[in-house]
Amino acid sequence: MSKYIKSFSEDGIGVIQLNRPNVLNALNRDMVHEIVVQLETFDNDEAINVIVLKGNEKAFAAGADIEEMMEATPLSLELLNPFAEWDKISLIKKPILAAVNGFALGGGFELALHCDLIIAGEDAKFGFPEVNLGVLPGAGGTQFLAKAMGVRKALEWIWLGESMSAKIAYDYGVINRVVAKELVEEETMRLATKLTKQPPISLRLIKEAVHAATDLTLQEGKNLERKNFYLAFASEDQKEGMRAFSEKRPASFRGK
């Protein structure tokens, strides 16, 4: 039984809802562990094709649990290695969509950036206020934001510790879609439903290739893309997709 999240599935979509409303879903270590375990569970469930991560109408997650870090020392953090748990999110093979209303700050912003697509309400606020606490993002925030919006703009936002609106985040390519706050979940589920109709193996191989593109040289990235292209031809979905195209009918993908 999870203490800090709720989870359910419907029509091939696994949903994880952050559930610490009294602290605007601030992330403590146990909560991150629960999120990761549920992500891994959905990733290994053949009935799930897409994963949605959401908060509530007030906040996606308004940062990390500061009380939990107050007495930390360099040695205690080294021995605890808390960010190793976060690294597991990048190993999830299925698409992860973040539905963001309200605040996505600090660790909450990092959690959203670990997702593949981000759909946000017009009221959403994104940012890294850690500098105001004398620290900096530690779960990948500096890296994700720099890759998303470029080094100079990322430095400006992280140095100043200011929050950006959903529109600004969208304009810089940090998030995918901005909708009315009342429609965030509906739009996220609509997009997730469209992805459930796509061939799961193709989605998996595309995710690997696209995420690798920011770290590999062009030739290394093309080599990975070609490997995945060839690998797709080992799937039943490839044969079904091309056969359906030839027969001028909708394809029925099975993830095999």
- Active site amino acids: 64, 107, 110, 130
| Complete edge-to-edge strand list for the sheet that includes strand 96-100 | 5-10, 13-18, 50-54, 96-100, 117-121, 177-179
How far apart (Å, rounded) are the C-alpha atoms in residues 177 and 174?
10
C-beta separation of 94 from 200 below 8 A: yes
Residue carrying the six token digits 């562990």: 33
CA dihedral 4, 93, 110, 52 (to 10 degrees): -50
What's the Cα-to-Cα distance from 239 to each of 94, 103, 243, 245, 249, rounded to whole Å? 21, 44, 6, 10, 13
